[in-house]
Amino acid sequence: MEPDRALLMELLPRLNQLSRSFNRGRLFERAIEASGIGLDHPSVQILTTLQLAGEPLRIGEIASRLQVVGPHVTRQVQVLEKRGLVERVTDPADQRARLIAPTAPGRAAAEKYFGAVLGWFTDALADWSPEDRSALGRLLGRFADDLSARLSRLDTEAP
């Protein structure tokens, strides 16, 4: 069944509005400032990716999750390592390989950042019913996953 075109046409401006709110409102930069962690956006992205994963990850997996190239992640990880926010650990599945894991200060920095962002989201959703909040999470997650999968397939198809 094809989605209703009129509904999708109504959705496009809302997605643009949300994107503008994040960008114009400098959501991520403000969260970094509010958290007081003194990191740049790429560093915070790596820390939060590791925190959300709940386990150490290979550089390539971090890059894949962030949709960037591996060398970019390698440079950022080196900076985070020097600051004591991440460490390299042995991959239990392959003793030759190394995984990236957040240190206790790295986890604390990610949690401070999450606290700032989640505080704003909590405020925005304060008047929503539990059912509406649940539906938002379920549907937005599904939409993001489906759209990302379709766009990834476009990237891998030959021109």
pLDDT category at 158 given cuts 50, 70, 90 is low
Cα angle for residues 79, 148, 40 (degrees, 5° grid): 20
pLDDT of residue 28: 84
Please check whether the domain covering 21-118 is classified as CATH 1.10.10.10: yes
Most confident of the following: 7-11, 19-23, 91-95, 131-135: 131-135
- Where do runs of H (alpha helix) occur along the chain? 5-24, 27-35, 41-53, 59-66, 70-82, 104-124, 130-156
pLDDT category at 86 given cuts 50, 70, 90 is very high
Q: Is the dihedral of CA 60, 34, 37, 87 positive or negative?
A: negative
Helix (H, G, I), strand (E, B) or coil at 38: coil
In tens, the pLDDT along 47-85 reads 999 999 999 999 999 999 998 888 999 999 999 999 999
Residue 91 pLDDT > 70, yes or no? yes
The pLDDT mean for the chain works out to: 90
- What residue segments make up the domains of the chain, in order of their start? 21-118, 125-159
Residue 1 pLDDT > 60, yes or no? no
Could you give phi then psi for residue 85, rounded to 5 degrees? -95, -20
In tens, the pLDDT along 102-124 reads 999 999 999 999 999 999 899 99
What are the CB-based long-range contacts (under 8 Å, 24+) for 46-50?
A: 46/73, 46/76, 46/77, 46/80, 46/86, 46/100, 47/80, 47/85, 47/86, 47/102, 47/106, 47/109, 47/110, 47/113, 48/110, 48/113, 48/114, 50/86, 50/100, 50/101, 50/102, 50/106, 50/110
